[in-house]
């Protein structure tokens, strides 16, 4: 009996490392230059959030580095650096046993003959521009893109010159118009303005003067997703586009997309196997933004009879706001591709059944099919 208990104890001890290993994702990284040659002693780091390192180290003679991270389904960023080269980076999701990534880093351009830059232009550049390295190296707590502006580049959003405050926001070359306003930010804005009304000779200051559209968009962008932010003030005529001045321009890192009401998110959901003989064409992603958008826009709904479990054919599944609808097929299912991105309310109705209303979200994070049971009328 004692030997049986001992054997069980040994089995449990031996099984512990296996169980722990099952919760880990093995990350294999290969770093090459623009010609495809391996980069030796490149510094590789896996980051969670803005700058929390969870793994990494120098590459070997073949430009490779392997390490483990928790397999928690979270989003991670792998960054490769080497002196004399621009940083390379790629996002992935730790949702599988093994992730293989291939990062291409490019040599830093050689210095050209000095260009005459006026002191005024140099001051404007420092006040109106911030990049990923500066965001990551900040000692201040940076929670979102709004923090990036308010804490690192306040001149971008606070009006220092009358009539020159930021009014528009562009993300990846697209002007964001009429995005959903963050309710919490709207409440804070109203409270700040009410407080400022007491001191009428001073008026609103600070965040109370910042456009709510800009606040809502920037608050929905993760700081680690930002490649750079630039501001074109009201006197800037360099951007040849309608409403291209008094505008904040946000450029996101490769593999990151943005949708109003959702914010920034990782398009490349996981790593892919690297091909050492493939040409160096830059970071590899698993799917294009169009494919990713189709995937989450085509969320499915199945409608069934609550009493019998049979499929309900021809049920009207409608957007209660716009009235746009689709009918369930012979399998009782319908795609929600007609819904806008974000939150909506579905109205499901069919003759002989009680109408149903259901809140639903369309986003990269909400993709599971929905099963609905309609109650027959008595």
Query: Which pLDDT value is given to residue 145?
Result: 92
Residue 311 DSSP code:
B
Q: Is pLDDT above 50 for 285?
A: no
Of 304, 350, 305, 342, nearest to 325 by C-alpha is 350
pLDDT-above-90 percentage for the chain = 13
Q: What share of the chain is helix, strand, coil (3-state, %, to 5)?
A: 25, 35, 45
115 pLDDT more than 50: no
Question: Residues 145, 179: contact at Cβ < 8 Å?
Answer: no
Q: What is the CA radius of gyration of the chain?
A: 26
Q: Are 222 and 147 in contact (CB under 8 A)?
A: no
32-88 pLDDT, tens digit each: 987 788 999 999 998 888 888 888 899 999 999 999 988 887 888 899 988 878 888
3-class DSSP state of 179: coil
364 closest CA partner among 319, 299, 285: 299
Mean pLDDT across 220-230: 90
Q: What are phi and psi of 207, to 5 degrees?
A: -65, -20
Estimate to the nearest angstrom the gap between the alpha carbon of 153 and the chain centroid: 21
Query: Mean pLDDT throughout 128-142?
Result: 89
Question: Which pLDDT value is given to residue 277?
Answer: 39
Coil/strand/helix, residue 314: coil
**Of the ranges 17-31, 231-245, 337-351, which one carries the lowest mean pLDDT score?**
17-31
- Calculate the dihedral angle through the C-alpha atoms of 64, 256, 83, 124, rounding to the nearest 10 degrees: 180
Q: List b or e across 263-294, with b for residues whose CB sees 16 or more CB atoms inside 10 angstroms.
A: bbbbbbbbbeebeeeeeeeebbbebebeebbe
Percent of the residues in the chain that have a pLDDT greater than 70, as a whole number: 77
Domains and CATH numbers, the chain: 2-107+271-287 (2.60.40.10), 121-253 (no CATH), 292-374 (2.60.40.1120)
Q: Please say whether the beta carbons of 345 and 357 come within 8 A.
A: yes
């Amino acid at each position: 009996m004692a030997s049986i208990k001992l054997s069980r104890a040994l089995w449990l001890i031996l099984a512990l490392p296996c169980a722990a290993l099952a919760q880990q994702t093995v990350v294999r990284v290969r770093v090459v230059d623009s010609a495809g040659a391996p980069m030796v002693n490149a510094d590789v780091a896996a980051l969670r959030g803005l700058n929390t390192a969870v793994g990494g180290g120098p590459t070997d003679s073949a430009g490779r580095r392997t390490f483990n991270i928790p397999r928690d389904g979270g989003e991670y960023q792998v960054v490769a650096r080497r002196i004399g080269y621009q940083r390379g980076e790629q996002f992935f999701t730790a949702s599988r046993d093994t992730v293989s990534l291939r990062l291409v880093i490019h040599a830093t351009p050689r210095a050209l003959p000095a260009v005459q830059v006026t002191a005024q232009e140099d001051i404007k550049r420092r006040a109106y521009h911030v990049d990923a390295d500066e965001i990551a190296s900040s000692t201040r707590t940076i929670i979102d893109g709004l923090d990036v502006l308010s804490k690192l580049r306040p001149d971008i959003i606070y009006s220092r010159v009358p009539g020159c405050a930021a009014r528009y926001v562009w993300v990846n070359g697209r002007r964001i118009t009429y995005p959903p306003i963050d309710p919490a930010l709207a409440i804070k804005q109203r409270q700040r303005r009410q407080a400022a009304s007491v001191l009428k000779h001073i008026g609103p200051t600070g965040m109370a003067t910042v456009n709510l559209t800009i606040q809502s968009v920037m608050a929905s962008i993760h700081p680690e997703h930002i490649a750079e932010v630039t501001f074109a003030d009201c006197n800037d005529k360099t951007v040849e586009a309608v409403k291209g001045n008094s505008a904040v321009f946000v450029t996101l890192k490769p593999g990151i997309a943005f949708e109003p009401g959702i914010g920034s998110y990782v398009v490349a959901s996981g790593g892919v196997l690297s091909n050492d003989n493939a040409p160096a064409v830059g970071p590899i992603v698993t799917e294009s933004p169009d494919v990713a958008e189709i995937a989450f826009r085509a969320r499915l709904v199945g409608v069934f009879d609550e009493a019998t479990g049979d499929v309900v054919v021809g049920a009207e599944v409608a957007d209660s706001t716009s009235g746009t609808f689709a009918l369930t097929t012979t399998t009782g299912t319908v795609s929600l591709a007609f819904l806008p991105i974000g939150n909506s309310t579905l109205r499901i109705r069919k003759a002989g059944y009680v109408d149903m209303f259901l809140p639903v979200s369309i986003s990269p994070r909400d993709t599971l099919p929905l099963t609905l049971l309609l109650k027959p009328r008595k």
